[in-house]
Chain A
Protein backbone atom coordinates (compact mmCIF):
# COMPACT_ATOMS: atom_id res chain seq x y z
CA UNK A 1 0.00 0.00 0.00
CA UNK A 2 1.37 3.39 -1.06
CA UNK A 3 -0.60 6.61 -0.89
CA UNK A 4 -0.07 9.93 -2.64
CA UNK A 5 -1.46 13.05 -0.95
CA UNK A 6 -2.11 16.11 -3.07
CA UNK A 7 -0.87 19.20 -1.25
CA UNK A 8 -3.04 22.29 -1.19
CA UNK A 9 -1.23 25.62 -1.23
CA UNK A 10 -1.00 29.08 -2.78
CA UNK A 11 2.59 28.58 -4.08
CA UNK A 12 3.92 30.09 -0.85
CA UNK A 13 2.20 28.42 2.07
CA UNK A 14 1.02 24.87 2.61
CA UNK A 15 -2.67 24.88 3.62
CA UNK A 16 -3.35 23.10 6.93
CA UNK A 17 -6.08 21.03 5.20
CA UNK A 18 -3.22 19.03 3.65
CA UNK A 19 -2.25 17.72 7.10
CA UNK A 20 -5.68 16.13 7.54
CA UNK A 21 -5.37 14.39 4.18
CA UNK A 22 -1.87 13.20 5.15
CA UNK A 23 -3.21 11.80 8.41
CA UNK A 24 -5.98 9.88 6.59
CA UNK A 25 -3.31 8.56 4.20
CA UNK A 26 -1.18 7.42 7.13
CA UNK A 27 -4.17 5.52 8.53
CA UNK A 28 -4.31 3.47 5.33
CA UNK A 29 -1.25 1.77 6.76
CA UNK A 30 1.38 2.04 4.02
CA UNK A 31 3.92 4.56 2.82
CA UNK A 32 2.86 8.15 2.18
CA UNK A 33 4.25 10.52 -0.45
CA UNK A 34 3.02 14.02 -1.13
CA UNK A 35 2.69 15.92 -4.39
CA UNK A 36 3.34 19.65 -4.50
CA UNK A 37 2.34 20.99 -7.92
CA UNK A 38 2.68 24.71 -8.41
CA UNK A 39 4.97 27.43 -9.69
CA UNK A 40 7.98 28.70 -7.71
CA UNK A 41 6.65 26.69 -4.81
CA UNK A 42 9.88 25.32 -3.28
CA UNK A 43 8.86 26.76 0.11
CA UNK A 44 5.71 24.65 0.01
CA UNK A 45 7.74 21.52 -0.78
CA UNK A 46 9.93 22.28 2.22
CA UNK A 47 6.87 22.58 4.48
CA UNK A 48 5.44 19.36 3.05
CA UNK A 49 8.72 17.55 3.70
CA UNK A 50 8.28 18.31 7.39
CA UNK A 51 4.91 16.56 7.68
CA UNK A 52 5.47 13.54 9.92
CA UNK A 53 5.38 10.19 8.13
CA UNK A 54 5.88 11.54 4.61
CA UNK A 55 8.60 9.65 2.73
CA UNK A 56 8.99 11.63 -0.48
CA UNK A 57 7.77 14.99 -1.69
CA UNK A 58 7.16 15.01 -5.43
CA UNK A 59 7.70 18.55 -6.65
CA UNK A 60 6.16 19.59 -9.98
CA UNK A 61 7.32 23.18 -10.21
CA UNK A 62 6.10 24.66 -13.48
CA UNK A 63 4.14 27.69 -14.69
CA UNK A 64 1.42 25.33 -15.94
CA UNK A 65 0.43 24.58 -12.31
CA UNK A 66 0.56 28.15 -11.02
CA UNK A 67 -3.21 28.58 -10.71
CA UNK A 68 -3.99 24.94 -9.90
CA UNK A 69 -6.29 24.62 -12.92
CA UNK A 70 -8.09 21.29 -12.80
CA UNK A 71 -7.21 20.11 -16.32
CA UNK A 72 -3.38 20.04 -16.19
CA UNK A 73 -3.35 19.15 -12.48
CA UNK A 74 -5.61 16.12 -13.02
CA UNK A 75 -3.45 14.99 -15.94
CA UNK A 76 -0.34 15.23 -13.75
CA UNK A 77 -1.89 13.30 -10.85
CA UNK A 78 -3.37 10.61 -13.11
CA UNK A 79 0.05 10.24 -14.73
CA UNK A 80 1.70 9.66 -11.35
CA UNK A 81 -1.04 7.30 -10.12
CA UNK A 82 0.65 4.16 -11.47
CA UNK A 83 2.95 3.99 -8.48
CA UNK A 84 0.18 4.33 -5.90
CA UNK A 85 -2.74 2.38 -4.44
CA UNK A 86 -4.51 5.46 -3.12
CA UNK A 87 -4.71 9.15 -4.01
CA UNK A 88 -5.98 11.55 -1.38
CA UNK A 89 -6.76 15.24 -1.06
CA UNK A 90 -8.67 17.39 1.41
CA UNK A 91 -12.38 17.83 0.67
CA UNK A 92 -11.92 21.57 0.14
CA UNK A 93 -13.05 23.57 -2.90
CA UNK A 94 -9.67 22.78 -4.50
CA UNK A 95 -9.74 19.07 -3.69
CA UNK A 96 -13.36 18.71 -4.78
CA UNK A 97 -12.53 20.42 -8.06
CA UNK A 98 -9.66 18.20 -9.14
CA UNK A 99 -10.02 14.76 -7.54
CA UNK A 100 -13.19 13.55 -9.33
CA UNK A 101 -11.50 14.50 -12.60
CA UNK A 102 -8.54 12.33 -11.62
CA UNK A 103 -10.87 9.50 -10.59
CA UNK A 104 -12.67 9.48 -13.93
CA UNK A 105 -9.36 9.53 -15.84
CA UNK A 106 -8.43 6.38 -13.89
CA UNK A 107 -11.92 4.82 -14.15
CA UNK A 108 -12.29 4.87 -10.38
CA UNK A 109 -15.40 5.68 -8.32
CA UNK A 110 -14.15 8.30 -5.85
CA UNK A 111 -15.05 8.12 -2.18
CA UNK A 112 -15.87 11.70 -1.17
CA UNK A 113 -15.48 13.46 2.14
CA UNK A 114 -14.49 10.52 4.35
CA UNK A 115 -14.69 10.97 8.12
CA UNK A 116 -13.07 7.64 9.08
CA UNK A 117 -10.80 4.96 7.65
CA UNK A 118 -12.17 1.56 8.68
CA UNK A 119 -9.66 -0.44 6.64
CA UNK A 120 -7.62 0.28 3.49
CA UNK A 121 -10.72 -0.27 1.33
CA UNK A 122 -13.54 0.71 3.70
CA UNK A 123 -14.49 4.22 4.73
CA UNK A 124 -17.20 6.14 6.55
CA UNK A 125 -18.73 9.19 4.89
CA UNK A 126 -21.67 11.45 5.71
CA UNK A 127 -24.66 11.53 3.36
CA UNK A 128 -27.91 13.55 3.41
CA UNK A 129 -26.33 16.64 4.98
CA UNK A 130 -24.68 14.52 7.64
CA UNK A 131 -27.98 13.02 8.80
CA UNK A 132 -26.62 9.56 8.07
CA UNK A 133 -23.18 8.00 8.09
CA UNK A 134 -22.55 5.47 5.33
CA UNK A 135 -19.85 2.82 5.54
CA UNK A 136 -18.71 1.92 2.02
CA UNK A 137 -16.22 -0.58 0.66
CA UNK A 138 -14.50 0.29 -2.59
CA UNK A 139 -13.97 -2.50 -5.12
CA UNK A 140 -11.67 -0.36 -7.27
CA UNK A 141 -8.03 -1.47 -7.32
CA UNK A 142 -6.97 2.13 -6.80
CA UNK A 143 -8.70 4.44 -4.34
CA UNK A 144 -9.38 8.10 -4.97
CA UNK A 145 -10.44 9.80 -1.76
CA UNK A 146 -11.27 13.24 -0.43
CA UNK A 147 -10.99 13.80 3.30
CA UNK A 148 -13.15 15.84 5.64
CA UNK A 149 -10.53 17.94 7.37
CA UNK A 150 -12.36 18.27 10.70
CA UNK A 151 -12.35 14.48 11.10
CA UNK A 152 -8.59 13.91 10.97
CA UNK A 153 -6.26 15.62 13.38
CA UNK A 154 -2.79 16.41 12.07
CA UNK A 155 -0.18 14.02 13.45
CA UNK A 156 2.28 15.58 15.89
CA UNK A 157 5.99 15.76 15.28
CA UNK A 158 7.97 16.58 12.22
CA UNK A 159 9.56 14.68 9.39
CA UNK A 160 12.36 15.16 6.91
CA UNK A 161 11.21 13.77 3.59
CA UNK A 162 13.32 13.89 0.46
CA UNK A 163 12.16 16.24 -2.30
CA UNK A 164 12.15 14.76 -5.80
CA UNK A 165 11.33 16.81 -8.89
CA UNK A 166 8.79 15.39 -11.34
CA UNK A 167 8.18 16.49 -14.91
CA UNK A 168 5.28 18.79 -15.76
CA UNK A 169 2.55 17.94 -18.26
CA UNK A 170 1.59 19.89 -21.34
CA UNK A 171 -1.36 22.23 -20.90
CA UNK A 172 -4.02 21.85 -23.56
CA UNK A 173 -5.09 25.42 -22.77
CA UNK A 174 -8.74 24.45 -22.31
CA UNK A 175 -9.25 26.88 -19.50
CA UNK A 176 -7.55 30.14 -18.88
CA UNK A 177 -7.09 31.84 -15.53
CA UNK A 178 -8.23 35.47 -15.44
CA UNK A 179 -8.29 36.56 -11.81
CA UNK A 180 -8.75 35.53 -8.21
CA UNK A 181 -10.27 37.78 -5.61
CA UNK A 182 -9.28 36.48 -2.24
CA UNK A 183 -11.08 37.93 0.76
CA UNK A 184 -8.29 39.63 2.71
CA UNK A 185 -8.65 39.14 6.40
CA UNK A 186 -6.45 39.42 9.44
CA UNK A 187 -8.74 36.95 11.19
CA UNK A 188 -7.91 33.23 11.44
CA UNK A 189 -9.04 30.98 8.61
CA UNK A 190 -12.56 29.66 9.12
CA UNK A 191 -11.72 25.97 8.83
CA UNK A 192 -8.87 26.08 11.34
CA UNK A 193 -10.14 28.74 13.77
CA UNK A 194 -10.53 27.85 17.45
CA UNK A 195 -13.49 30.22 17.80
CA UNK A 196 -16.11 31.11 15.18
CA UNK A 197 -18.83 33.72 15.45
CA UNK A 198 -21.40 33.16 12.71
CA UNK A 199 -24.23 35.46 11.70
CA UNK A 200 -27.47 34.72 9.91
CA UNK A 201 -30.38 36.47 8.31
CA UNK A 202 -31.40 37.70 11.76
CA UNK A 203 -28.54 40.22 11.68
CA UNK A 204 -30.64 42.11 9.16
CA UNK A 205 -28.06 44.13 7.20
CA UNK A 206 -24.42 44.21 6.17
CA UNK A 207 -23.94 47.25 8.40
CA UNK A 208 -25.16 45.36 11.42
CA UNK A 209 -22.91 42.42 10.51
CA UNK A 210 -20.06 44.49 11.99
CA UNK A 211 -21.42 43.38 15.39
CA UNK A 212 -20.61 39.78 14.47
CA UNK A 213 -17.10 40.74 13.34
CA UNK A 214 -16.48 42.76 16.50
CA UNK A 215 -17.44 39.85 18.68
CA UNK A 216 -15.20 37.56 16.61
CA UNK A 217 -12.27 39.96 17.00
CA UNK A 218 -12.60 40.17 20.76
CA UNK A 219 -12.48 36.37 20.89
CA UNK A 220 -9.68 36.13 18.33
CA UNK A 221 -12.04 34.14 16.16
CA UNK A 222 -13.15 33.79 12.55
CA UNK A 223 -16.41 35.05 11.07
CA UNK A 224 -18.86 32.57 9.60
CA UNK A 225 -22.32 32.89 8.12
CA UNK A 226 -25.44 31.05 7.08
CA UNK A 227 -26.39 30.80 3.44
CA UNK A 228 -29.12 33.39 3.98
CA UNK A 229 -26.58 35.93 5.25
CA UNK A 230 -24.33 35.31 2.22
CA UNK A 231 -27.24 35.43 -0.22
CA UNK A 232 -28.33 38.73 1.32
CA UNK A 233 -24.84 40.13 0.69
CA UNK A 234 -23.97 40.71 4.37
CA UNK A 235 -20.68 38.88 3.88
CA UNK A 236 -18.75 37.15 1.01
CA UNK A 237 -19.45 33.57 -0.05
CA UNK A 238 -16.33 32.08 1.50
CA UNK A 239 -17.85 32.56 4.97
CA UNK A 240 -20.73 30.15 4.34
CA UNK A 241 -20.84 27.25 6.77
CA UNK A 242 -22.93 24.19 5.96
CA UNK A 243 -23.72 21.17 3.84
CA UNK A 244 -22.73 23.00 0.69
CA UNK A 245 -20.31 25.49 2.25
CA UNK A 246 -17.49 24.93 4.71
CA UNK A 247 -17.39 22.24 7.36
CA UNK A 248 -16.03 23.53 10.65
CA UNK A 249 -15.47 22.14 14.14
CA UNK A 250 -14.03 24.87 16.39
CA UNK A 251 -13.83 24.73 20.18
CA UNK A 252 -16.49 27.43 20.34
CA UNK A 253 -19.16 28.25 17.72
CA UNK A 254 -21.45 31.18 18.43
CA UNK A 255 -24.49 31.28 16.10
CA UNK A 256 -26.15 34.67 16.06
CA UNK A 257 -29.51 35.17 14.34
CA UNK A 258 -29.27 31.75 12.69
CA UNK A 259 -32.33 29.47 12.76
CA UNK A 260 -30.45 26.17 12.50
CA UNK A 261 -31.63 24.62 9.21
CA UNK A 262 -30.27 21.09 8.65
CA UNK A 263 -28.08 22.44 5.85
CA UNK A 264 -26.42 24.81 8.31
CA UNK A 265 -26.14 22.26 11.13
CA UNK A 266 -24.38 19.91 8.70
CA UNK A 267 -21.44 22.29 8.68
CA UNK A 268 -21.02 23.04 12.38
CA UNK A 269 -22.61 20.42 14.60
CA UNK A 270 -19.25 18.80 15.38
CA UNK A 271 -18.10 21.98 17.13
CA UNK A 272 -17.07 21.33 20.75
CA UNK A 273 -19.23 24.02 22.35
CA UNK A 274 -22.15 25.66 20.56
CA UNK A 275 -23.79 28.90 21.68
CA UNK A 276 -26.97 30.16 20.05
CA UNK A 277 -28.35 33.67 20.32
CA UNK A 278 -31.78 33.97 18.74
CA UNK A 279 -34.93 35.86 19.65
CA UNK A 280 -37.12 32.88 18.76
CA UNK A 281 -37.01 30.36 21.60
CA UNK A 282 -38.36 27.69 19.23
CA UNK A 283 -35.53 28.03 16.69
CA UNK A 284 -34.04 24.59 15.91
CA UNK A 285 -30.51 25.88 16.59
CA UNK A 286 -31.32 25.58 20.32
CA UNK A 287 -31.65 21.81 19.91
CA UNK A 288 -27.93 21.52 19.25
CA UNK A 289 -26.71 24.42 21.38
CA UNK A 290 -24.92 23.78 24.67
CA UNK A 291 -25.85 27.30 25.76
CA UNK A 292 -28.81 29.18 24.39
CA UNK A 293 -29.72 32.79 24.92
CA UNK A 294 -33.19 33.83 23.80
CA UNK A 295 -32.59 37.49 23.02
CA UNK A 296 -32.47 40.14 20.35
CA UNK A 297 -29.02 40.25 18.76
CA UNK A 298 -28.97 44.03 18.92
CA UNK A 299 -29.19 43.88 22.70
CA UNK A 300 -27.34 40.65 23.42
CA UNK A 301 -24.29 41.06 21.17
CA UNK A 302 -23.36 44.61 22.32
CA UNK A 303 -23.86 43.47 25.91
CA UNK A 304 -21.66 40.43 25.27
CA UNK A 305 -18.95 42.59 23.70
CA UNK A 306 -19.17 44.90 26.68
CA UNK A 307 -18.95 42.07 29.17
CA UNK A 308 -15.92 40.52 27.43
CA UNK A 309 -14.17 43.88 27.19
CA UNK A 310 -14.41 44.39 30.91
Chain B
Protein backbone atom coordinates (compact mmCIF):
# COMPACT_ATOMS: atom_id res chain seq x y z
CA UNK B 1 0.00 0.00 0.00
CA UNK B 2 1.18 3.49 -0.81
CA UNK B 3 0.23 6.40 1.45
CA UNK B 4 0.26 10.08 0.53
CA UNK B 5 0.26 12.48 3.48
CA UNK B 6 -0.43 16.21 3.21
CA UNK B 7 1.47 18.51 5.55
CA UNK B 8 1.05 22.23 6.09
CA UNK B 9 3.44 24.68 7.65
CA UNK B 10 1.58 26.86 10.14
CA UNK B 11 2.25 29.25 12.99
CA UNK B 12 3.14 27.07 15.99
CA UNK B 13 0.13 26.27 18.18
CA UNK B 14 1.80 27.84 21.22
CA UNK B 15 2.31 31.23 19.58
CA UNK B 16 -0.17 34.05 20.13
CA UNK B 17 -0.65 35.77 16.80
CA UNK B 18 -0.69 39.52 16.14
CA UNK B 19 -3.10 41.29 13.88
CA UNK B 20 -1.53 43.86 11.56
CA UNK B 21 -2.35 47.37 12.77
CA UNK B 22 -3.99 48.25 9.44
CA UNK B 23 -6.30 45.22 9.74
CA UNK B 24 -5.07 43.76 6.45
CA UNK B 25 -4.18 40.38 7.90
CA UNK B 26 -2.28 38.44 10.53
CA UNK B 27 1.38 39.29 10.94
CA UNK B 28 3.21 35.98 10.64
CA UNK B 29 6.68 37.45 10.06
CA UNK B 30 9.34 36.05 12.39
CA UNK B 31 6.92 33.77 14.21
CA UNK B 32 7.83 30.21 15.12
CA UNK B 33 6.42 27.93 12.41
CA UNK B 34 5.70 24.21 12.82
CA UNK B 35 3.95 21.35 11.13
CA UNK B 36 0.18 21.60 11.62
CA UNK B 37 -0.43 19.32 14.66
CA UNK B 38 -3.15 17.31 12.90
CA UNK B 39 -0.74 16.68 10.01
CA UNK B 40 1.87 15.40 12.45
CA UNK B 41 -0.72 12.87 13.56
CA UNK B 42 -1.29 11.94 9.90
CA UNK B 43 2.44 11.44 9.26
CA UNK B 44 2.75 9.39 12.44
CA UNK B 45 -0.11 7.12 11.38
CA UNK B 46 1.39 6.52 7.94
CA UNK B 47 4.81 5.77 9.41
CA UNK B 48 3.27 3.31 11.88
CA UNK B 49 1.54 1.56 8.97
CA UNK B 50 4.88 1.28 7.29
CA UNK B 51 6.49 -0.13 10.41
CA UNK B 52 3.66 -2.67 10.74
CA UNK B 53 4.01 -3.69 7.10
CA UNK B 54 0.66 -2.24 5.96
CA UNK B 55 2.33 0.47 3.89
CA UNK B 56 5.23 0.06 1.50
CA UNK B 57 5.88 3.72 0.85
CA UNK B 58 4.98 6.99 2.56
CA UNK B 59 5.09 10.11 0.38
CA UNK B 60 4.56 13.62 1.75
CA UNK B 61 3.07 16.55 -0.10
CA UNK B 62 3.37 20.14 1.07
CA UNK B 63 1.99 23.27 -0.52
CA UNK B 64 3.58 26.56 0.36
CA UNK B 65 6.64 28.76 0.05
CA UNK B 66 10.22 27.49 -0.15
CA UNK B 67 10.34 27.40 3.66
CA UNK B 68 7.66 24.69 3.67
CA UNK B 69 10.58 22.40 2.77
CA UNK B 70 11.59 22.47 6.44
CA UNK B 71 8.21 21.08 7.42
CA UNK B 72 8.53 18.33 4.82
CA UNK B 73 12.00 17.50 6.16
CA UNK B 74 10.46 17.14 9.63
CA UNK B 75 8.03 14.59 8.21
CA UNK B 76 10.86 12.79 6.45
CA UNK B 77 12.73 12.67 9.74
CA UNK B 78 9.66 11.08 11.34
CA UNK B 79 9.99 8.27 8.82
CA UNK B 80 8.37 9.21 5.50
CA UNK B 81 10.28 8.10 2.38
CA UNK B 82 10.14 11.11 0.10
CA UNK B 83 8.37 14.41 -0.39
CA UNK B 84 6.86 16.69 -3.01
CA UNK B 85 6.73 20.45 -2.51
CA UNK B 86 4.24 22.40 -4.61
CA UNK B 87 5.78 25.82 -4.44
CA UNK B 88 3.38 28.74 -4.16
CA UNK B 89 4.11 32.36 -3.40
CA UNK B 90 0.63 33.35 -2.29
CA UNK B 91 -1.87 31.90 0.20
CA UNK B 92 -3.72 28.96 -1.29
CA UNK B 93 -7.32 28.28 -0.32
CA UNK B 94 -8.52 24.77 0.60
CA UNK B 95 -10.16 24.18 -2.80
CA UNK B 96 -6.92 25.05 -4.62
CA UNK B 97 -4.91 22.89 -2.21
CA UNK B 98 -7.30 19.99 -2.81
CA UNK B 99 -6.86 20.43 -6.58
CA UNK B 100 -3.07 20.43 -6.25
CA UNK B 101 -3.09 17.29 -4.12
CA UNK B 102 -5.52 15.67 -6.56
CA UNK B 103 -3.17 16.46 -9.44
CA UNK B 104 -0.22 14.88 -7.64
CA UNK B 105 -2.37 11.91 -6.58
CA UNK B 106 -3.16 11.22 -10.23
CA UNK B 107 0.48 10.42 -10.90
CA UNK B 108 1.40 9.02 -7.47
CA UNK B 109 -1.70 6.76 -7.30
CA UNK B 110 -1.75 6.32 -3.52
CA UNK B 111 -4.09 3.81 -1.87
CA UNK B 112 -4.73 6.12 1.05
CA UNK B 113 -4.39 9.88 1.36
CA UNK B 114 -4.06 11.11 4.94
CA UNK B 115 -4.59 14.74 5.96
CA UNK B 116 -5.16 16.62 9.20
CA UNK B 117 -8.82 17.41 9.84
CA UNK B 118 -8.07 21.12 10.00
CA UNK B 119 -5.15 23.49 9.84
CA UNK B 120 -4.90 25.50 13.04
CA UNK B 121 -4.31 28.77 11.17
CA UNK B 122 -7.42 29.24 9.04
CA UNK B 123 -9.43 26.53 10.85
CA UNK B 124 -11.37 25.72 7.66
CA UNK B 125 -11.68 21.93 7.98
CA UNK B 126 -12.28 21.43 4.24
CA UNK B 127 -9.31 20.09 2.28
CA UNK B 128 -9.71 16.34 2.88
CA UNK B 129 -13.41 16.32 2.07
CA UNK B 130 -12.81 18.42 -1.06
CA UNK B 131 -10.02 16.14 -2.22
CA UNK B 132 -12.25 13.09 -1.78
CA UNK B 133 -14.93 14.77 -3.90
CA UNK B 134 -12.48 15.76 -6.66
CA UNK B 135 -11.11 12.22 -6.89
CA UNK B 136 -14.51 10.54 -6.42
CA UNK B 137 -13.20 8.66 -3.38
CA UNK B 138 -14.79 7.69 -0.07
CA UNK B 139 -13.88 9.82 2.92
CA UNK B 140 -13.27 9.03 6.57
CA UNK B 141 -13.06 12.32 8.45
CA UNK B 142 -12.06 13.10 12.06
CA UNK B 143 -10.74 9.59 12.68
CA UNK B 144 -9.48 8.32 16.03
CA UNK B 145 -8.64 4.81 14.75
CA UNK B 146 -7.89 3.24 11.38
CA UNK B 147 -7.23 -0.37 10.53
CA UNK B 148 -6.40 -1.65 7.05
CA UNK B 149 -7.69 -5.20 6.42
CA UNK B 150 -6.70 -8.02 4.05
CA UNK B 151 -9.61 -7.33 1.74
CA UNK B 152 -8.10 -3.94 0.90
CA UNK B 153 -10.63 -1.95 2.91
CA UNK B 154 -10.00 0.31 5.86
CA UNK B 155 -12.08 0.34 9.01
CA UNK B 156 -12.12 3.76 10.65
CA UNK B 157 -13.60 5.12 13.86
CA UNK B 158 -14.77 8.73 13.53
CA UNK B 159 -15.25 11.27 16.31
CA UNK B 160 -18.75 12.68 15.80
CA UNK B 161 -20.83 15.08 17.88
CA UNK B 162 -22.68 12.37 19.80
CA UNK B 163 -19.86 9.87 20.20
CA UNK B 164 -18.10 7.53 17.78
CA UNK B 165 -18.98 6.09 14.38
CA UNK B 166 -17.37 3.12 12.64
CA UNK B 167 -17.18 2.94 8.83
CA UNK B 168 -15.61 0.53 6.38
CA UNK B 169 -14.11 2.32 3.38
CA UNK B 170 -13.05 0.99 0.01
CA UNK B 171 -9.55 2.00 -1.09
CA UNK B 172 -8.34 4.28 -2.46
CA UNK B 173 -9.77 6.63 0.15
CA UNK B 174 -9.14 9.92 1.90
CA UNK B 175 -8.77 10.05 5.70
CA UNK B 176 -8.54 13.07 8.00
CA UNK B 177 -7.10 12.76 11.48
CA UNK B 178 -8.48 13.79 14.85
CA UNK B 179 -6.45 14.29 18.02
CA UNK B 180 -6.91 10.85 19.52
CA UNK B 181 -5.56 8.85 16.54
CA UNK B 182 -2.04 8.62 17.96
CA UNK B 183 0.68 10.57 19.70
CA UNK B 184 3.27 11.69 17.15
CA UNK B 185 6.92 10.88 17.79
CA UNK B 186 9.77 13.32 17.96
CA UNK B 187 12.33 12.81 15.23
CA UNK B 188 15.68 11.62 16.57
CA UNK B 189 18.86 13.45 15.66
CA UNK B 190 20.19 10.63 13.44
CA UNK B 191 16.85 10.53 11.62
CA UNK B 192 16.93 14.30 11.15
CA UNK B 193 20.37 13.90 9.53
CA UNK B 194 19.15 11.03 7.36
CA UNK B 195 16.10 13.03 6.28
CA UNK B 196 18.36 15.63 4.67
CA UNK B 197 19.30 13.08 2.04
CA UNK B 198 15.81 11.80 1.29
CA UNK B 199 14.36 12.87 -2.10
CA UNK B 200 12.32 16.07 -2.18
CA UNK B 201 10.87 17.09 -5.54
CA UNK B 202 9.68 20.60 -6.22
CA UNK B 203 6.86 21.42 -8.59
CA UNK B 204 4.48 24.35 -9.11
CA UNK B 205 0.74 24.88 -9.64
CA UNK B 206 1.56 25.86 -13.26
CA UNK B 207 3.44 22.58 -13.81
CA UNK B 208 0.42 20.72 -12.45
CA UNK B 209 -1.97 22.81 -14.55
CA UNK B 210 -4.00 23.96 -11.55
CA UNK B 211 -5.55 27.42 -11.28
CA UNK B 212 -5.01 28.59 -7.70
CA UNK B 213 -6.53 32.04 -8.02
CA UNK B 214 -8.33 32.84 -4.75
CA UNK B 215 -12.12 32.90 -4.59
CA UNK B 216 -12.32 34.70 -1.28
CA UNK B 217 -11.18 38.30 -0.85
CA UNK B 218 -9.91 39.06 2.63
CA UNK B 219 -11.47 42.44 3.38
CA UNK B 220 -10.43 42.87 6.98
CA UNK B 221 -8.96 41.10 9.98
CA UNK B 222 -10.01 42.38 13.40
CA UNK B 223 -9.48 41.57 17.05
CA UNK B 224 -12.30 39.57 18.61
CA UNK B 225 -14.11 41.28 21.48
CA UNK B 226 -11.95 40.77 24.55
CA UNK B 227 -13.21 39.63 27.91
CA UNK B 228 -12.11 41.43 31.00
CA UNK B 229 -10.87 39.41 33.91
CA UNK B 230 -13.45 39.55 36.67
CA UNK B 231 -13.01 39.17 40.38
CA UNK B 232 -11.35 36.56 42.53
CA UNK B 233 -13.78 35.44 45.20
CA UNK B 234 -12.61 34.38 48.65
CA UNK B 235 -14.86 31.41 49.27
CA UNK B 236 -17.43 29.02 47.85
CA UNK B 237 -20.16 30.88 49.75
CA UNK B 238 -19.14 34.17 48.16
CA UNK B 239 -19.10 32.53 44.72
CA UNK B 240 -22.63 31.20 45.14
CA UNK B 241 -23.81 34.57 46.42
CA UNK B 242 -22.34 36.37 43.39
CA UNK B 243 -23.79 33.88 40.93
CA UNK B 244 -27.22 34.21 42.53
CA UNK B 245 -27.43 37.91 43.26
CA UNK B 246 -24.98 39.63 40.91
CA UNK B 247 -24.78 37.48 37.76
CA UNK B 248 -28.27 36.04 38.36
CA UNK B 249 -27.42 32.75 36.65
CA UNK B 250 -28.47 30.41 39.48
Question: Are A and B a genuine interacting pair, yes or no?
Answer: yes
A178 touches B180 (CB 8 A): no
Task: Please name all residues of chain B whose beta carbon is closer than 8 Å to the beta carbon of A102 when the two chains form the complex.
Answer: 133
Task: Please name all residues of chain A whose beta carbon is closer than 8 Å to the beta carbon of B215 when the two chains form the complex.
Answer: 108-109, 138-140
- Given A289-B230, A291-B233, residue A179 in contact with residue B222 (CB < 8 A): no
A244 touches B17 (CB 8 A): no
- Given A131-B224, A138-B215, residue A101 in contact with residue B129 (CB < 8 A): yes
Distance A122 CA – B223 CA, assembled complex (angstroms):
18
Task: Please name all residues of chain B whose beta carbon is closer than 8 Å to the beta carbon of A99 when the two chains form the complex.
Answer: 129
**Chain A residue at smallest Cβ distance from B183:** A231
Q: Interface extent on A, as a size class?
A: 35 or more
Distance A279 CA – B134 CA, assembled complex (angstroms):
51
A128 touches B140 (CB 8 A): no
Contact residues of A between 229 and 284, Cβ < 8 Å to B: 230-231, 236-238, 243-244, 246, 251-252, 262-263, 269, 272-275, 281
Is the CB of B197 closer than 8 A to any CB of chain A? no
Task: Please name all residues of chain A whose beta carbon is closer than 8 Å to the beta carbon of B26 when the two chains form the complex.
Answer: 127-128, 132
Task: Please name all residues of chain B whose beta carbon is closer than 8 Å to the beta carbon of A71 when the two chains form the complex.
Answer: 138-139
A130 touches B233 (CB 8 A): no
- Give the residue among A101, A236, A262, A263 with the most B Cβ atoms within 10 A: A101
B120 touches A243 (CB 8 A): yes
Is the CB of B124 closer than 8 A to any CB of chain A? yes
Q: Of B57-65, B73-81, B200-208, B241-249, which binds chain A?
A: B241-249
**Chain B residue at smallest Cβ distance from A127:** B122
Distance A271 CA – B126 CA, assembled complex (angstroms):
27
B160 touches A238 (CB 8 A): yes
B161 touches A291 (CB 8 A): no
Is the CB of B71 closer than 8 A to any CB of chain A? no
B121 touches A104 (CB 8 A): no
A110 touches B141 (CB 8 A): no
Is the CB of B104 closer than 8 A to any CB of chain A? no
Contact residues of A between 288 and 310, Cβ < 8 Å to B: 288-295, 300, 303-304, 307-308
Task: Please name all residues of chain A whose beta carbon is closer than 8 Å to the beta carbon of B139 when the two chains form the complex.
Answer: 70-71, 97, 101, 175
**Chain A residue at smallest Cβ distance from B160:** A93
Distance A108 CA – B159 CA, assembled complex (angstroms):
26
Residues on B lying within 8 angstroms of A by beta carbon are 11, 13, 16-17, 19, 26, 38, 93-96, 98, 117-118, 120-134, 137-142, 144, 155, 158-170, 173, 178-180, 214-224, 227, 229-233, 235-237, 239-240, 242-243, 247, 249-250
Q: What are 13 A-B contacts with C-beta separation under 8 Å?
A: A93-B158, A97-B142, A100-B94, A127-B26, A136-B218, A138-B216, A174-B170, A179-B166, A230-B180, A236-B163, A244-B178, A263-B13, A308-B250
* 4 tightest A-B CB contacts, nearest first: A174-B138, A100-B129, A104-B130, A290-B230
